Amino acid sequence: MAAGAGIRICVFGAGSVGCYVGGRLLASGAEVEFVGRARLAREIAAHGLRLSDYRGLELHVPGASVAFRETPQAAAAADLVLVTVKAAATAEAGRALAAALRPGTTVISLQNGLGNDEILRAALPACTVLTGMVPFNVVQGGGGAFHQGSEGELAVARHPALAPVLPLFAEAGLPLRQYRDMRAVQWAKLLLNLNNAVNALSGRPLREELSQRAYRRCLALAQREALGLLRRAGIRPARLTPLPPHWIPAVLEWPDAPFRVLFGRMLRIDPLARSSMWEDLQAGRETEVAWLNGEVVRLADTLGAAAPVNARLLALVREAERGGARDWRGEALLQRLRAP
């Protein structure tokens, strides 16, 4: 019997990330059920799952082979649940899963922001709830298409309960990298994700945005502010990139030509890839800015300090959600963030 055979996986809150990760597992032979919205259920039934990545991977899972449900009861038989709902829906997801899951089920939060694992743990005391993190960007292209547009490995808190499922993720080409200190990993990811707001406000694809110094300087301002607060709080973010986190703001401010030549790896992103925050704005959905830049603002509050740059980015995205400006030029956005 193959390693991991017989293990049932449920992706709860299957959107872009959930359909991609779950789809990769399903395509490699794992037993996967998806729980999500009716719109995606119809789309995938009609087109199947079309999965691709920036390295040229292309996979197709026929719609008839995808078990996509709309009710939480579909998670009742799962041995592993991957929670991929938006951060704002975590408490609701916890309540729904509490009524469905068996005691002892392993649950991994693969969500943006901090604290989602704690909310799930409080709602699911009889389950093993682990902190996880998806470092790469996933773009939903319609017609069942989900594309990984940047690099990175799935991260999860180290735990013995993971042993049976590790081979499944490895077989799918998405190995789980285990960490002892996931909070440090989450903060490191959050520092990178501070660009989501800049990208959403720029209205440009990620690679185009990061190729322009003015936008990079906006990100550098937000990261420096966050790093200063993390130092005050005694939090040391993990190293997820070739550069240590505290070096990145200085590199972002380099002129475009040397930045592209020496740090081209940072631009190993598909030309059309955009942040999930941009996608949410386009779709008229509430963004996760409160769980990204908002986390920096909350950290500042706990320290009796201020985070004006991240507070302004949060406010600008909230304005964009209400129909405000979304196509900021780099210099104009930089001036706004630097304003006293």
Tens of pLDDT, residue by residue over 160-190, are: 999 999 999 999 999 999 999 999 999 999 9
Lowest mean pLDDT, pick from 65-79, 269-283, 313-327: 269-283
CA distance 242 to 223: 17
pLDDT score recorded for residue 150 = 83
Q: What would the pLDDT profile of 40-81 be if each residue is shown by its tens digit?
A: 999 999 999 999 998 899 999 999 999 999 999 989 999 999
**DSSP code of residue 86:** -
Q: Is the dihedral of CA 219, 224, 225, 230 positive or negative?
A: positive
pLDDT of 199 higher than 80: yes
Per the listing, tokens 């592209």 go with 260
What's the one-letter identity of residue 210?
L
pLDDT of 1 higher than 80: no
Q: 138 — phi, psi (to 5°)? A: -125, 130
Q: Assign 3-state DSSP to the chain and report helix, strand, coil percentages, each to 5.
A: 50, 15, 35
pLDDT of 203 higher than 80: yes
Mean pLDDT of 194-218: 95
Mean pLDDT of 282-289: 92
pLDDT score recorded for residue 3 = 54
What's the one-letter identity of residue 32?
V
| Confidence band of 210 (pLDDT split at 50, 70, 90) | very high
pLDDT score recorded for residue 2 = 47
pLDDT of 112 higher than 70: yes
Mean residue pLDDT of the chain comes to: 93
Q: What would the pLDDT profile of 30-39 be if each residue is shown by its tens digit?
A: 999 999 999 9
Q: Give the percent of the chain with pLDDT over 90.
A: 84
Within 8 A by CB and 6+ apart from 322, the residues are: none
| Confidence band of 4 (pLDDT split at 50, 70, 90) | low
Mean pLDDT of 10-16: 95
CA distance 77 to 97: 12
| Confidence band of 262 (pLDDT split at 50, 70, 90) | confident
Say if CB 131 and CB 157 are below 8 A apart: yes
CA distance 29 to 69: 19
| Confidence band of 5 (pLDDT split at 50, 70, 90) | low
What is the pTM for the complete model shown? 0.89
Q: What would the pLDDT profile of 131-166 be if each residue is shown by its tens digit?
A: 999 998 898 889 999 999 888 899 999 999 999 999
Q: Which two tokens stand for residue 130?
A: 């682990």
Q: 270 — phi, psi (to 5°)? A: -60, 145
Please report the DSSP string for 165-191 in residue order: THHHHHHTT-PEEEES-HHHHHHHHHH
Say if CB 207 and CB 263 are below 8 A apart: no
pLDDT score recorded for residue 205 = 92
Say if CB 152 and CB 173 are below 8 A apart: no
pLDDT score recorded for residue 340 = 85
Strand partners, 69: 35
Within 8 A by CB and 6+ apart from 52, the residues are: 58, 59, 145, 146, 147, 148
Say if CB 333 and CB 202 are below 8 A apart: yes
Rounded to a whole number of angstroms, the distance between the first and last alpha carbons of the chain is 65
| Confidence band of 265 (pLDDT split at 50, 70, 90) | low
Instruction: Count other C-beta atoms under 10 Å from residue 98's C-beta.
Output: 16
pLDDT score recorded for residue 45 = 96
pLDDT score recorded for residue 272 = 74
Q: b/e per residue, 122-153, with b = 16+ CB within 10 A? A: ebbeebbbbbbbbbbbbbbeeebbbbbbbebe
Instruction: Count other C-beta atoms under 10 Å from residue 109's C-beta.
Output: 31
Within 8 A by CB and 6+ apart from 292, the residues are: 112, 113, 190, 193, 194, 196, 197, 277
Q: Which two tokens stand for residue 271?
A: 């030309």
